[in-house]
Amino acid sequence: MDVVLLSRLQFAVATMFHFLFVPFTLGLSVLVAFMETKYVKTGDETYLRMTKFWGKLFLINFALGVVTGITLEFQFGTNWSRYSAYVGDIFGSLLAIEATAAFFLESVLIGVWIFGWRKLSKKAHAAVMWLVAFAGTLSAVWILIANAWMQNPVGFTLRDGRAELVDFTAVLFQKFAILKFIHTVSAAYVLSAFFVMGVSAYHLLKKKNIEFFTRSFRIALVFGLVFSLIVVIIGDLNGVIVAEKQPTKLAAMESLWETTTRAPVYLFALPDEENEKNKIEIGAIPGLLSLLVFHDIDAEVRGLKAFPREERPPVLITSFAFKGMVGLGFYFMLVTIIGWFKRNRLVDSPKFLKLMLLSIPLPYIAIELGWVVAEVGRQPWIVYGLMKTSDAVSPIAGSQVLISLIAFIIVYSLLGAVGFYLIAKNAKKGPEPASD
C-alpha cells in the first residue's frame, strides 16, 4: 500500500469535509452581525428574530467546523512529520498564531454572544458578533497565508537541511497570500449568501413568514451579488500570478500541452494523460489565455510538454475542477444579477425561488473544486519548487494510514449526517413566532 497516496487521501477527506463548514462560518457571522446591528438601530423585532434564527444555524455549523478542524493539524505530526521537520519553523509558527490569536478568541467571543443576551446591552451584544466575525476572518488570514507559502515559498533560507524563516513580512504580504485571502473569503461570503437565499426561498415558496424571509433574502442577495463579482475579478488576477509562479498548474488547468503564442481557452477539453494526442478540445477561443494571464494576446504560454513528466500535476482532475469552478463562478454572478431585478416580487417568482433553493449545494461544490485546483494542481510539490510530496510523508506503514483513513470516513460520515440533519431541521422549522 502506497503510504503517500493513502496519506494524501486521508488529508483530502479531512480537509474537504472540514471545508464544508468553515466558509459558512465566515460568511454567516457577518450576515448575523449585520442583522443584529439593524435590530439595534431600528428596534424592529423582525431583525432580532432574524438574528436568533440565522444565529442558531451559525452555531451548529461552527461546532461541526471545530470538531473537524482539530484533526487536520494533528496530521502534520502523524502523517507528514518530514514536512513538519523541514518547514516547521515557518509553517508551524503561522498555525500557532492562528490558534492562539484567532481561534481561541473566536471561541471565547461566541460563548459571550450565546450567554450574553440578558447580560450585555444591545449595542455591546451586537459588537460581540462583529468581533466574532473579525476573529473568524483573522483565523482565515493565517491559514491562507500558510497555504500561500506552500504555493509560493518566500522569506526563508535553507540551513542545516531545514527551511528557516528570515523575512516574516515577505511571508505575510506576498501577492499570492493577499489574492488567495480575498478570493477564498469572497467565495465563503457567496456560499453563505446562497444558503440564506436558498432557505428563504424554501419558506417563501410555502408562503410562510413572508416578511421575515423576504428581508433575509434581500440582505443575502446584496451580499451575494457584490462578492460573486469580486470572486470573478480576483479569480482573474489569481490566474495572472499562477501563470508567473506556477506555470505547470496553469498548463494543467487549461489542458495546454504545447507551448504556444496566442494560446487559446477551450470551453471544453478532455485531456489524455497517457497520450497527449488522444484528447478532445471543443470551442477554442484563440489568444484568450494569453490575454487573460499576460494581458497580451500574442504572449507565449508554456505547455505541459515544456516540463519534465514527473513535474506535471494530474491534468484531468485539475482541468475538470478548474472548468467547473469557473463555470459556477459565472453562474453565481448571473443568478444574483437576475435576483436583483426580482427582489421586489420574490413571492411572485416561484421558478426563480425554486432555482435558488436548488442552488444551495453549488457554492459548496465550487469551493471544494477550488481546493482541488489549488492542491492537486500543485503536485508533485507539497511546497512548490522546494519539497516534493513524496519526500514529506512520515516513515509509517501504509496499513496504519489505511486503518485511520477508514476510521475518518466512518466518523465523518456519521458526524456529517447528524450535523446536516440538525442544520436542515432547524432551517425548515423557521424562526420562533413573533412576540406579542
pLDDT tens for 103-142 read: 778 888 888 888 888 888 888 989 999 999 998 888 888 8
Cβ burial, residue 413 (10 Å; 0-12/13-18/19+): exposed
Cβ burial, residue 72 (10 Å; 0-12/13-18/19+): middle
- In the structure, what pLDDT confidence band is assigned to residue 1 with cuts at 50, 70 and 90? low
> Position of cell 494523460?
273
More confident position, 277 or 5: 5
Is the pLDDT at 194 greater than 90? The verdict is yes
Say what angle helices 175-205 and 361-376 make with each other, to 10 degrees. Answer: 160
CA distances to 182, 220, 285 from 331, rounded to whole Å, are 19, 16, 20
pLDDT of res. 360: 92
pLDDT of res. 217: 93
Q: Are 29 and 122 in contact (CB under 8 A)?
A: no
Mean pLDDT of 76-81: 80
* Residue 362: CB atoms within 10 Å: 17
Cα(168)–Cα(214) distance, integer angstroms = 47
What mean pLDDT is reported for the chain?
A: 86
pLDDT of res. 336: 93
Dihedral, CA of residue 199, residue 204, residue 208 and residue 212, to nearest 10: 70
pLDDT of res. 273: 60
Cα(201)–Cα(192) distance, integer angstroms = 14
Cα(381)–Cα(245) distance, integer angstroms = 13
pLDDT of res. 202: 92
Cα(196)–Cα(213) distance, integer angstroms = 9
Half-sphere exposure of 123 (CA within 13 A, CB side): 1
% of residues, the chain, pLDDT over 90: 23
Is the pLDDT at 433 greater than 80? The verdict is no
- In the structure, what pLDDT confidence band is assigned to residue 274 with cuts at 50, 70 and 90? low
Evaluated on CA atoms 333, 337, 342, 343, the torsion sign reads positive
CA distances to 9, 160, 193, 330 from 324, rounded to whole Å, are 21, 43, 20, 10
Cα(64)–Cα(44) distance, integer angstroms = 31
Least Cα distance to 142 among 166, 170, 172 occurs for: 172
pLDDT tens for 349-383 read: 889 999 999 999 999 999 999 999 989 989 898 88
* pTM over cut 0.85: yes
pLDDT of res. 229: 93
Cα(76)–Cα(85) distance, integer angstroms = 10
pLDDT of res. 276: 56
Q: Are 273 and 315 in contact (CB under 8 A)?
A: yes
Q: Which helix (H) or strand (E) segment is 261 a member of?
A: strand 260-261
Rg of the Cα atoms in the chain: 23
pLDDT of res. 196: 94
pLDDT tens for 306-356 read: 888 888 888 888 888 998 999 999 999 999 999 999 888 888 888 999 999
pLDDT tens for 19-69 read: 888 889 889 999 999 999 999 999 888 888 889 999 989 988 888 877 777
- In the structure, what pLDDT confidence band is assigned to residue 435 with cuts at 50, 70 and 90? low
pLDDT tens for 281-296 read: 666 777 788 888 888 8
- In the structure, what pLDDT confidence band is assigned to residue 235 with cuts at 50, 70 and 90? confident
Cα first-last separation, the chain: 65
And the C-alpha cell for 328? 459556477
pLDDT of res. 189: 94
pLDDT of res. 165: 85
Q: Are 73 and 15 in contact (CB under 8 A)?
A: no
